[in-house]
Amino acid sequence: MTIPNWITFSRLLALPFLLYGLRNPTPQARWVCLAIFLVAALTDWLDGYLARKLNQISELGKFLDPLVDKLLVLAPLLALIELGQVPAWGVFLILARELAIAGWRVSQTTITGANIWGKLKTVSQIVAIVLLIAPLPEVWQIPSVIAFWISVVLTLISGAIYIFPQKDGISTVKN
């Protein structure tokens, strides 16, 4: 297994700590969860960078990276449902898109990298989760929920572009 694949796999280790911290979301626990989430999210960039830099792009990495990304996003969103911060049906839309794309990818012969829509989706999900996890003042509640809904919309758009690629050069998305 390559170094980038180990880094990808290490993101999974963050999930139990993240979920445990969100079960009793004191402000201190939320700051810890936020730090854990941000470190895990940054390793997504790091593993891709190293895979390209070290010429260690692998089929395992192409499969494992988007799978771990989905778990890293869905785990805190499920915890946020339990906390009443996001509606279950919004998270369901994200989950449904991810399952549909995962099923679609199984039938594909090659796995392509992310296009701009996949990257926007990922960044918007990370931003939304950061805002929702952080123990921010109440004035941030509405912007946090708006960020969540923007991520839902971008998730659905990127899924549609993945399944129905445009003829003008838009390629399929990774996530």
Structure tokens at 141: 């509640």
Note the pLDDT of residue 1.
Answer: 84
pLDDT beyond 70 at 20: yes
Tokens of 78: 């499920």
pLDDT at residue 164 above 90? no
Per-residue pLDDT reduced to its tens digit, 46-59: 988 888 899 888 88
pTM: 0.85
- Buried b vs exposed e over 114-129: b needs ≥16 C-beta within 10 Å? bbebbbbbbebbbbbb
Q: Which of helix, strand or coil describes residue 25?
A: coil
